[in-house]
Amino acid sequence: MTTIGYYTPFKPLGFHLPSGDLTIATGLRDFLEGGGYRIMHPSRLRARWIFWKPWLWPIVVRDRLRALRMLRHARSGIWVTYHAYYKSPDLIGPWVCRRLAIPYIIFQGIYSTRRKKNIKTLAGYVLNRQALMQADHVFSNRKEDLLNLRRLIPDDRLTYIAPGIDPEQFTFDAGARHELRCSWKIPENTPVVLSAAMFRPGVKTEGLIWTIKACAELCRQNRPVYLVIAGDGKERKTLQSLAESLLSENVRFVGKISRDRMYRFYSAGDVFAFPGIRETLGMVYLEAQSCSLPVIAFHNGGIPEVVRDGITGFLTPPFDLHAFTDVMARILDDEPLRRKMGEAARRHVRRAHDIHRNYHQVDTILQHVHAEHVLRTDDRGQMTQKRRL
């Protein structure tokens, strides 16, 4: 059995704030574990801005030595780091792999030469660049990141893997739809707009405010609409106050919902709307589409990689309230269009974003890299033995 030392320098698995990064990291870990790999977690160190936090450097040393002990006794080892970039470079994996002579893999590596021009990010840029150059293989789940990585990594050590979810965990549930809409007291024949995000300051809260304002504009046009928002965080009072002032009784906050229950939430809606300001990928878009919901979002970041504009939803120019509201009105007024897009969305996720199918390539490459590494090690051992003779 091949042992994998698995490390997530940006956010440790089980981090208290849910995010798309954690969803992807956990999904990759679960896939590898389900594929027969033995997973070890040598470190839970969060390396965000670590080069400006000298009090964390002793932990780097401690975890390097711990990883060395954990993996030294594994007959067959690989190191996999998820999400390494200038803010959170991997300071453990490269060091361990050099000393144990095992393959070093990065999943979702990011490279940007702009960071070397800023004294605040220069150290992170250098450390991250060194790790990328040492990697035996680098995977990317964003096409934009892939283009930047090609400036540093040769194509034979670089692979694009489309982001994915388990579609079976996100399927439409008619019973949940009826139950939730009754509990929410949705007026009959009123279309429901769903939105979901963490209520933290910054682009997440800005995106929810944008959605609230778009729905309020529809209400001013005397169009029936009911907005339901899932999530929680520091900005909850601010968002609730704004929503109630603009939408009165046509809005409901349902709090934080565990991921294994989100399929019920998606099933109760007619469209999923969240701008996704500078969103890197947005796993919620895949989850919503898998439950047959069309999506409305901004045409920015990584969203076009997971939503097919005009087919599984509508992507509008960023910060154009008229365009955002216009497509929302169009899709809410046209039930056959909603059904057509929802069905296309469900098929799209199963065809292009099934995590089991997409990650099969990861498994194949890991096996290839490991086999090549073992072969090179054996060759070096034979060469050394011949010299001694």
Domains along the chain with CATH numbers? 3-164+354-388 (3.40.50.2000), 167-352 (3.40.50.2000)
Residue 379: per-residue pLDDT = 53
Q: Is residue 205's pLDDT more than 70?
A: yes
pTM for this predicted structure? 0.89
What distance in Å separates the CA atoms of residue 77 and residue 328, rounded to the nearest whole number? 51
| DSSP secondary structure letters along 245-259 | HHHTTSEEEEE---G
- CA 15 from centroid of its chain's CA atoms: 14
What distance in Å separates the CA atoms of residue 20 and residue 288, rounded to the nearest whole number? 14
Neighbouring C-beta atoms of residue 246, cutoff 10 Å: 18
Task: List Cα–Cα distances, 262 to 245, 246, 313, 372, 389, in angstroms.
Answer: 27, 26, 19, 42, 65
What distance in Å separates the CA atoms of residue 121 and residue 136, rounded to the nearest whole number? 25
For 298-318, the pLDDT digits (tens) are: 999 999 999 999 999 999 999
For 31-56, the pLDDT digits (tens) are: 999 989 999 999 999 999 999 999 99
Task: Specify whether the CB–CB gap between 198 and 18 falls below 8 A.
Answer: yes
State residue 116 phi and psi, 5-degree precision. Answer: -80, -10
State residue 86 phi and psi, 5-degree precision. Answer: -60, -30
Residue 269 backbone class (left: φ over 0; alpha: ψ -120 to 50; beta: rest)? beta
| DSSP secondary structure letters along 289-302 | HHTT--EEEES-TT
Instruction: Find the mean pLDDT for residues 182-195.
Output: 92
- Please tell me what DSSP assigns to residue 76: S
By DSSP bridging, strand 3-7 and strand 77-84 are: parallel
Q: Is residue 384's pLDDT more than 90?
A: no
Instruction: Find the mean pLDDT for residues 52-76.
Output: 91
Residue 330 backbone class (left: φ over 0; alpha: ψ -120 to 50; beta: rest)? alpha
